[in-house]
Amino acid sequence: MTNTKAQDNFSQSVRDLLENRARKLAQEADKPIALTTRRNDNLYLGLRLLDSVCALPLHAVKEVINLGSVLPIPRTPIHVAGLVRLRGKILTLIDLRRFWYQSVSGHADSDRAVVIEMDGVEFGVLCSEVEELVELESDEIKDFTENLPKRLKACLRGLARRDMLVIDIQKLIAQRGFLVDSAQEES
């Protein structure tokens, strides 16, 4: 009696698991996630990158993931931290600090990443911590006079709440040398 019941419970939980998964996958196949369809351009996700706090536009954020094993990629610029698998897809991890400061001090051993998708380019941004969602009206985002590295400035919409770096993903992707394309280097 207990035997069959346990089995029932077990197969029920497998069924639930499969059903949930199927639902999740079906959703992904159709449209990315609910978050991106209900687009609000004033919403940002706050991240801690070592000593600074960044705000990423939420409509470009697909999800936050915990990292498994990362495969380093030889022959790439230092801001490319490696590759991870994400549900059958391959995702490149980026260390923004290394890109901005061209220095090896960064998040080499970070275990979380925010998945960004913009204009057909997808990548994970390494971060030390994911903070809260923030709503920023455009007038809250100020131009900066602060003495920031040029490469960082070129990727920003501006500063908010004194020291929050509001990132413009399109500008970031457009930065020279950000995407890796050796075919381009050839020409």
Partner 1 sequence: MGTQDDFTEILKVFRVEARELLQGIGEAMLTQEKAANETERQNALKTAFRLAHNLKGAAGTLGLEPLANLVHALEDVLGAIRERQLVPTPEVIDEILSNSDVIEQASQKAEIGGTTLNDEEAQALKRLQDLLPGASSAPAAAVAHKAAAPSAQSEAAAGSASSQTDDYVRVSNQKLDTLLAQMEELLEMKIRMEETHRHIKNTMATMEAESSTNLDQVLKPMRGLALGMEQDIQYLSKLLRQIQDELLELRMVAIGSLFPMLRRAVRDVCRKRDLEVDLTLEGGDYELDRRIVTEMKSPLLHLLRNSVGHGIESASDRQSAGKPAAGQVSMRVTHQGNRIALTISDDGRGINFDKVRDRARELGWITDSDQSSQTELTRMLFQSGMTTAVQADSISGRGVGLNAVKKVVETLGGSLDVESTPKLGSRFRLLLPLTLAMDKGLFITTREQNFVIPKTAVQRVVSFRSEDVSVTDDVANLWFEEESVPLARLEPSLHLTRFSMDESKQNNLAVILSSAESRAAIVVDEIQEEADIVVRDLGSFVRKLEGVSGLTVSASGDMFFVLDPSDLVRWAIRPLGRGRSKSDPAGTATADHAEKLILVVDDSVTSRMLNLRLLLDVGFQVETANDGRQALETMDGRQFDLVLADVQMPYVDGYELTRRIKAHPKLSQTPVILLTSRDRPEDREKGIDAGADAYLLKKELSQAELVATIEQLI
User: Which residues here bind partner 1, judged by CB under 8 A?
Assistant: 2-3, 6-7, 10-11, 14, 21, 25, 28-29, 69, 71, 73-78, 80, 83, 85, 87-92, 94, 101-105, 120-123, 147-151, 179-186
Q: Yes or no: say if 57 and 44 are a contact pair by the CB < 8 Å rule.
A: yes
Q: Yes or no: say if 131 and 83 are a contact pair by the CB < 8 Å rule.
A: no
Q: From the CB of 81, what's the least distance to partner 1, in Å?
A: 11
Q: Which residue, 62 or 134, is less far from partner 1 as judged by CB?
A: 62
Q: Which residue, 10 or 38, is less far from partner 1 as judged by CB?
A: 10
Q: Which residue, 39 or 85, is less far from partner 1 as judged by CB?
A: 85
DSSP type of residue 142: B
Q: What is the dihedral of CA 47, 105, 183, 88, to 10 degrees?
A: -50
| Alpha-carbon span 126 to 4, nearest angstrom | 47
Q: From the CB of 87, what's the least distance to partner 1, in Å?
A: 6
Q: From the CB of 47, what's the least distance to partner 1, in Å?
A: 18
Q: From the CB of 128, what's the least distance to partner 1, in Å?
A: 16
Q: Which residue, 74 or 132, is less far from partner 1 as judged by CB?
A: 74
Q: Which residue, 43 or 180, is less far from partner 1 as judged by CB?
A: 180
Q: Yes or no: say if 137 and 158 are a contact pair by the CB < 8 Å rule.
A: no
Q: From the CB of 160, what's the least distance to partner 1, in Å?
A: 19
Which regions of 19-172 does DSSP assign to beta strands (E)?
43-49, 52-57, 61-66, 80-86, 89-94, 112-118, 121-127, 129-135, 156-160, 164-167
